[in-house]
């Protein structure tokens, strides 16, 4: 089970984008013909589902990967597939210098993973393993179907929006047959934009799950973070031309193939308990360290500390002066000497925000009693005992973090 309920979010977003398609159909054709647009949506969904393993491969001109020519890629995917207890997908290589990778296919039995020649050249084996673990989890979580269907419906909405604009302005016939021109114009302008935003939100929820599950699969969450830094620079040096075919497939790729990625995160971090606990440990060690905390979303912006966290800190004798939440920025990440994340997906999100940085670490990696890559528990949906648990986890990591900073 995912900590962030991304499956529920995805279902809600799909409901929203399908409802938008129906609304656009109603505005264009009226209630009598809105069923036509529902059928169009279902037909497009079925087509995207059945052909999702072919469209992106064709767009990238990819060819089946020869095991003799690409033994490392084969070895990694075979090992990770066996570890996941899932079928091994077909492997392809695209003859392009732009570094990228994607997974495609309607289900794990009819899936493919494609790497470009560029990514195989710039990543070492550990980094490639992180990327392939991420892509395999897209396959096993059936994210390719999700993304393909969302893109198809968004494309229909954009096309219908253009038709709606033309119909509203130039259609003839009786006034009672013609759509309201003002409503048509507003829908034509706003519907494609809203559809694109919903599509991006669906894609983002699936990326977070693939980050988290891929890190579990490989057991090395920082490998993907390292790969993403190289990919950001590599794509900037060798972007792909934004042809219609590639634009339709770009949502599947691990890095935006056309321009440097501008990723804004949607998840909030844990409450500022780590900040308070770290301040105490650093002070006790005689270290002059400025400690601040932030989230990677504006969801909690300007909110005070959670009362459950405040109660736990009070009982343990920590400073609980007033705190106001804020969203971390790329500039804050670059300016900090060290950025300590609570969960692996936060590491990867912040690397995407500030790809040139080398200062992002995972808190529990400093606790020798746990496996590297272990996240802090998320106490948000539980009672106060969950905050006691993460206070214990933070305190257990502090001696290792203090020792690292002393160096």
Q: What is the pTM of this model?
A: 0.52
CA distance 57 to 107: 15
> Is the pLDDT score of 254 beyond 60?
yes
pLDDT tens, 154-196?
555 555 555 555 555 445 444 554 555 555 555 555 555 555 5
Q: What is the pLDDT of residues 186-219, one digit of tens each?
A: 555 555 555 555 555 556 666 777 888 888 899 8
Which pair of tokens denotes residue 402? 């203090």
Q: Between 276 and 307, whose confidence is greater? A: 307
299 classed as catalytic: no
Active-site pick, 135, 232, 275, 343: 135
Chain position carrying tokens 């934009």: 193
Longest Cα–Cα distance in the chain: 83
Is pLDDT of 148 > 70? Answer: no
In this predicted model, which residue has the larger pLDDT, 386 or 21?
386
Q: At which residue do the structure tokens 């634009």 appear?
A: 247
What is the set of domains in the chain, with CATH numbers?
Answer: 1-256 (no CATH), 273-406 (3.40.50.2300)
Q: What percent of the chain has pLDDT over 90?
A: 23
- Give the Cα separation of 376 and 379 in Å (integer): 9
Q: Beta strand pairing status for 101-105 and 90-94? A: unpaired
Task: Provide, for the chain, the percentages of residues in helix, strand and coil under a 3-state DSSP scheme, each rounded to the nearest 5.
Answer: 60, 5, 30
**DSSP line for 142-157:** THHHHHHHHHHHHHHH
Q: Which residues contact 50 (CB under 8 A, 6 or more apart)?
A: 106
């Amino acid at each position: 089970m995912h900590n962030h309920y991304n499956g529920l979010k995805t279902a809600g977003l799909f409901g929203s984008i399908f409802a938008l398609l129906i609304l656009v159909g109603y505005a264009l054709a009226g209630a009598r013909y809105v069923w036509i647009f529902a059928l169009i949506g279902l037909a497009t969904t079925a087509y995207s589902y059945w052909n999702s393993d072919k469209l992106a491969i064709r767009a990238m001109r990819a060819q089946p990967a020869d095991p003799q020519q690409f033994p490392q890629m084969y070895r990694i995917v075979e090992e990770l597939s066996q570890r996941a207890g899932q079928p091994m997908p077909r492997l392809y290589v695209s003859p392009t210098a732009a570094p990228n990778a994607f997974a495609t296919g309607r289900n794990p039995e009819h899936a493919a993973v494609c790497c470009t020649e560029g990514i195989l050249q710039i990543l070492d084996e550990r980094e490639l393993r992180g990327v392939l673990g991420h892509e395999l989890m897209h396959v096993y979580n059936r994210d390719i179907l999700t993304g393909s269907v969302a893109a198809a419906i968004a494309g229909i909405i954009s096309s219908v929006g253009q038709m709606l604009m033309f119909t509203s302005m130039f259609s003839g016939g009786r006034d009672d047959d013609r759509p309201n021109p003002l409503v048509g114009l507003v829908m034509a302008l706003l519907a494609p934009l809203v559809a694109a935003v919903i599509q991006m939100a669906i894609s983002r929820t699936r990326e977070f799950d693939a980050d988290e599950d891929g890190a579990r699969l490989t057991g090395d969450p920082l490998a993907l973070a390292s790969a993403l830094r190289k990919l950001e620079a590599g794509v900037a040096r060798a972007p792909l031309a934004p042809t219609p075919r590639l634009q339709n497939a770009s949502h599947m790729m691990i890095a935006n193939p056309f321009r440097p990625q501008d990723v804004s995160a949607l998840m909030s971090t844990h409450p500022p308990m780590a900040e308070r606990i770290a301040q105490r440990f650093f002070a006790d060690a005689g270290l002059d360290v400025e400690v601040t905390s932030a989230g990677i979303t504006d969801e909690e912006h300007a909110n005070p500390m959670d009362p459950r966290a405040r109660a736990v800190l009070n009982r343990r004798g920590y400073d609980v002066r007033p705190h106001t939440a804020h969203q971390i920025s790329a500039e804050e990440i670059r300016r900090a000497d060290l950025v300590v994340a609570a969960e692996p997906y936060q590491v990867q999100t912040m690397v995407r925000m500030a790809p040139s940085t080398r200062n992002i670490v995972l808190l529990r990696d400093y606790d020798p009693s746990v496996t590297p890559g272990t996240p802090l528990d998320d106490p948000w949906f539980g009672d106060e005992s969950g905050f006691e648990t993460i206070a214990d986890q933070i305190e257990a990591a502090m001696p290792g973090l203090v020792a690292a900073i002393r160096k």
